[in-house]
Structure 1
Amino acid sequence: MMSTDDTVQDLAPLRFPLWGSRLIEASAGTGKTWTMAALYVRLVLGHGGEAAYPQALRPDQILVMTFTRAATRELSDRIRARLVQAAQAFRGSLSAQDEDGFLKALKTDWPESQWPQAAWRLEQAASSMDDAAIHTIDAWCQRMLREHALDSGSLFDETLQPDEQALRQQALQDVWRQQAYPLSPTQMAALASVWPSLDAMEADLKDLLPHTLPDSPHANLAQALDDVGGERLRRVQAARQGWAERIVAMSQWFEVQLASKDWNGNKLRSTSVQKWLDALASWAQQEGAESLDLKALGAGAEKLRPEGLLGCRAKHAADPVLPPLFAEFAQLMDELATLPELAPALRCVATHAVQRRLRALQQARRELGFGEVQERLAKALAGPQGARLRERIVAQTPVALIDEFQDTSALQYRIFDALFHTAANDPATALLLIGDPKQSIYRFRGPTLPATCKRAAQRRGGTTAWAPTSAPARPWCRRSTRCLSRPKGATPTAAPLPTARLMAATPCPSRRCRPKAAASAGWSVAWIKPR
């Protein structure tokens, strides 16, 4: 059913554009794999007129990517079966019961005299599915590094190591031994305040090691301890100056003030005030770089500020003129809040050191970890030979169907963007992203593609941008598949594209649920109804 709005239409597998950058959002039960197989058949045949890819493709020219080996086998089997079924339909040997609407419509788009040729092409594709480019992201990255070793700067005989735990443990132990053992007693005490043991450091760095952190200004743990600890000590000692005398003056002022009825006894009690001043005095008498113990200070952290004190006045009492002691306390708290923290500096230094050691161990063993293959391919594409590497990879597989796009990390998207130049919406290539943001199972790993798409939508003049949303949907809408893409020949809008609701949260047939923001920005929106 076509919408009366030209920018909103059903996503028809036979008419869906197979060029440029496209995103299909497929909720559970909408026939996502069926749709992928249908698009694959069209790519093999070169079907679709203006919506077609410029040439018919072989299975080894169509990159299909998903996240698990089991999923790659299932996709390969389903696509092979669909190719065989389509070939039988063109041969006339498929039963009427098995020939669905898609195959019937596909045949009508072909002159009957060309049916044997179409059947032969489909049969050849089905028989060569063992050579199809259907991979997991890591297996594909490793394959590209190996096949294009000269352009990527990789070794020819590196192996993919699926479990890096043992090697990571060795790297952690090496860094601890090399950088922690030589520390002085003072430095070791400061280090122990963050990591009492190697196990504590390992647990603390576990979630950081897979990521690329900003460069650290410190060469090693010792330098970080000296630089950050030294600056912290200097600032704390400067902040302590004169506070022993100020605390005595505060105590005397409170002794006089709390004897009157001008203060709310529930908000400001003498016992609480004494506890706050004791915590402040304990800190003022110390000599190290310790900050104020906010737990011991409790509510005093706010109530000893001028605005906090005035909030403790009785209803009938006028605001008094406070001595400058309390404004100085507020300045003290603000200064202590900006002290450099030792833990972040140590984490950054240690993460870089462990990553470097891990890479050295992997190179010695000629091994690659899952995260390493992706990072290395991304760096190669951004390196001096990146243009030639991209040209060769895209010539090898000019079309990519990325399954489960909602679990794509920023690093993986950077690879796809470097290869297919998503903002260019190039008709000579095709990047089709398929998935459902509501069903991400790798959120712990930090998939950020939806956010990346929203940032792309903010770019003025871009020809491709996506902003999927995942708000709760009505039953019909929950089982729907959506696609957002720029229509062929559309011109960029003059104003920045809307990002908060570029797509409707629920692609409902009713006009009030249509993505008006997308329509006004010149985008076409389509969805596949549940099969």
Structure 2
Amino acid sequence: MNTVEPFNNFSDELKKGVNLIEASAGTGKTYAITMLALRFVVEKEIPLEQLLVVTFTNAATRELRGRIRQRLAEARDIVELSQQQREASNRFDLTLKNWAKNWQQNEQRRKALLLLEKALHTIDEAPVFTIHGFCQRMLIEQALESNQLFDMELLTDTSQQLLEIAEDYWRNLFYPLNPQIVTLLLSDPCFVSPAALLNSVKSASGAVKTILPQCESAEKSGQKLVRELDSLRGWLLNGGEAFFCKIQDAGERGLFKDKLAKNWQNWLAALREWCVDSNAPFFGNIEWLSETGIFDSLNGKRIRGAEKKAAFVADWSFPPEIEQLSQQMDRFFLACRVEFARLLQKERRRRLASRGEMGFDDLIGNLAAALT
């Protein structure tokens, strides 16, 4: 088992390779980073512009750069003093005083001062970045190697660009569709608007490698759905009157509960209209066309027990294969969303690149691609 060793930031050896300094909030991680930057500049003679410092926010980069500048300036000032002056001064903290003990001889001090002055003059060039800032810097500096434009604009918000893609897909999906499929789609919350469709698959616009499930095309699925709907319409026109009468009778007698009790009249009117007009809005609540749907919607206070409910619906005539139609509706909705998600993933990057723009996910993805 590995043991955790305390880290002394002014005297511990600066080791090569991967090293981890772990500490909880408020324990001096930023302070330790400033001391490490100082020591690499002076002890290892590494130019400040060759030290990469990465943090999470723009505010943190500004603070870190300022703290490194301050530490370098304090180190320069303390090295200029004699040991007696250093001990007498209250300006410097104990860590810096301990570190400065290694730089007392004249030749050592001159060398350290030269390195520190150079670092202070180049502090504005020090690579202190956010993660995305570093990725952008690398892509710009290696634009030819990474197949990027030199002046790509980084967008902090790509929602408007995503909405444009959703609007285009929404129009291309709806305009050529059979009218009854259009009304069916509009009955689903995911398809009431381009914004709703985008919200339903928005996570696919980022760094998603594979979109599942693999399913048939929206066009093919839609064709199957049209056949199912035509079959249902034919059944309702030829033998649906008995079903309509059963719904009306049970509704007038108050035998339904919850949603069907409140909406049976509107639902029945919409169903009748849909039967005779293929352009009419979809009636919705397709489960009420099935025996299970009506059984579950019966008021238990009026018809008590499962046996009485089963006996009540025993002589009803229900459209066949309603479950199959319901499943095909779900498959069609899913096929449309998967198709759009794949388009969004592909088209977002293409459109942004054509405008010389990229989002945060593109930065990391493009850099990863350039490195492979």
Give the Cα separation in 1 of the matches to 2:35 and 2:318: 71
Give the Cα separation in 2 of the matches to 1:58 and 1:370: 29
Q: Confirm whether residue 271 of structure 1 aligns to residue 305 of structure 2.
A: yes
Give the Cα separation in 2 of the matches to 1:29 and 1:181: 59
Instruction: Kindly provide the amino acid, as one letter, of the partner of residue 154 in structure 1.
Output: Q
Deviation of residue 197 (structure 1)? Answer: 2.6
Who is 1:178 aligned against?
Answer: 172
Give the Cα separation in 2 of the matches to 1:44 and 1:125: 7
Who is 1:206 aligned against?
Answer: 202
Q: Confirm whether residue 289 of structure 1 aligns to residue 324 of structure 2.
A: yes
Who is 2:340 aligned against?
Answer: 350
SS in 1 for 2:19: strand
> Does the Cα contact within 8 Å between 1:218 and 1:224 map onto a contact in 2?
no
Looking at secondary structure, tell me which structure has more helix per residue. 2
Q: Confirm whether residue 96 of structure 1 aligns to residue 92 of structure 2.
A: no
Who is 2:153 aligned against?
Answer: 159
Give the Cα separation in 2 of the matches to 1:197 and 1:283: 33
Give the Cα separation in 1 of the matches to 2:148 and 2:20: 32
Who is 1:169 aligned against?
Answer: 163
Deviation of residue 84 (structure 1)? Answer: 0.7
Who is 1:71 aligned against?
Answer: 60
Task: Give runs of aligned pairs for residues 329-348 of structure 1, distance below 5 A.
Answer: 345-348=335-338
Q: Confirm whether residue 28 of structure 1 aligns to residue 40 of structure 2.
A: no
Who is 2:273 aligned against?
Answer: none
Deviation of residue 201 (structure 1)? Answer: 0.7
Give the Cα separation in 2 of the matches to 1:32 and 1:82: 14
CA shift digits 1:330-367 (9 cap, x unpaired): xxxxxxxxx98665554332122123222232222111
Q: 1:8 to 1:74 in 2, by over 3 A?
A: closer
CA shift digits 1:267-305 (9 cap, x unpaired): xx961465589899998844353569xxxxxxxxxxxxx
Task: Give runs of aligned pairs for residues 356-435 of structure 1, distance below 5 A.
Answer: 356-382=346-372
Give the Cα separation in 2 of the matches to 1:279 and 1:146: 71
Which is bigger in relative contact order (C-alpha 8 A, separation at least 6)?
A: 1
Identity of aligned residues (%): 31
Give the Cα separation in 1 of the matches to 2:122 and 2:320: 79
Q: 1:181 to 1:13 in 2, by over 3 A?
A: farther
SS in 2 for 1:208: helix
Give the Cα separation in 2 of the matches to 1:65 and 1:168: 29
Deviation of residue 180 (structure 1)? Answer: 3.5
Instruction: Kindly provide the amino acid, as one letter, of the partner of residue 119 in structure 2.
Output: A
Who is 2:39 aligned against?
Answer: 42
CA shift digits 1:70-105 (9 cap, x unpaired): 221111111100111111121117662122222222
Q: CA RMSD in A?
A: 3.8
> Does the Cα contact within 8 Å between 2:153 and 2:356 map onto a contact in 1?
yes
Deviation of residue 114 (structure 1)? Answer: 0.7
> Does the Cα contact within 8 Å between 1:69 and 1:136 map onto a contact in 2?
yes
SS in 2 for 1:21: coil
SS in 2 for 1:155: coil
Give the Cα separation in 2 of the matches to 1:98 and 1:282: 93
Looking at secondary structure, tell me which structure has more strand per residue. 1
Give the Cα separation in 2 of the matches to 1:8 and 1:340: 55
Instruction: Kindly provide the amino acid, as one letter, of the partner of residue 92 in structure 2.
Output: E
Task: Give runs of aligned pairs for residues 205-284 of structure 1, distance below 5 A.
Answer: 205-215=201-211, 217=214, 221-223=218-220, 271-272=305-306
SS in 2 for 1:172: helix
Give the Cα separation in 2 of the matches to 1:377 and 1:364: 18
SS in 2 for 1:22: coil
Structure 1 unaligned blocks of 5 or more: 47-54, 234-246, 252-268, 293-338, 383-531
Give the Cα separation in 2 of the matches to 1:155 and 1:278: 72
1:8 to 1, 4, 7: 4
Equivalent residue pairs, number: 291
Q: 1:195 to 1:377 in 2, by over 3 A?
A: same
Greater Cα radius of gyration, structure 1 or 2: 2
Instruction: Kindly provide the amino acid, as one letter, of the partner of residue 45 in structure 1.
Output: V
> Does the Cα contact within 8 Å between 2:152 and 2:357 map onto a contact in 1?
yes
Q: 1:225 to 1:97 in 2, by over 3 A?
A: farther
> Does the Cα contact within 8 Å between 2:157 and 2:359 map onto a contact in 1?
yes
Give the Cα separation in 1 of the matches to 2:140 and 2:210: 29
Instruction: Kindly provide the amino acid, as one letter, of the partner of residue 209 in structure 1.
Output: S
Q: Confirm whether residue 19 of structure 1 aligns to residue 12 of structure 2.
A: no
Normalised to the residue count of structure 1, the TM-score between the two structures is 0.48
1:106 to 99, 102, 114: 99
CA shift digits 1:148-198 (9 cap, x unpaired): 112111112222223323222212212222234323345445644342332
Who is 1:316 aligned against?
Answer: none
Of 84-93 and 182-191, deviating more is: 182-191
Give the Cα separation in 2 of the matches to 1:279 and 1:350: 42
Structure 2 unaligned blocks of 5 or more: 230-290, 296-302
Q: 1:161 to 1:279 in 2, by over 3 A?
A: farther
> Does the Cα contact within 8 Å between 2:79 and 2:104 map onto a contact in 1?
no
CA shift digits 1:303-325 (9 cap, x unpaired): xxxxxxxxxxxxxxxxxxxxxxx
SS in 1 for 2:205: coil
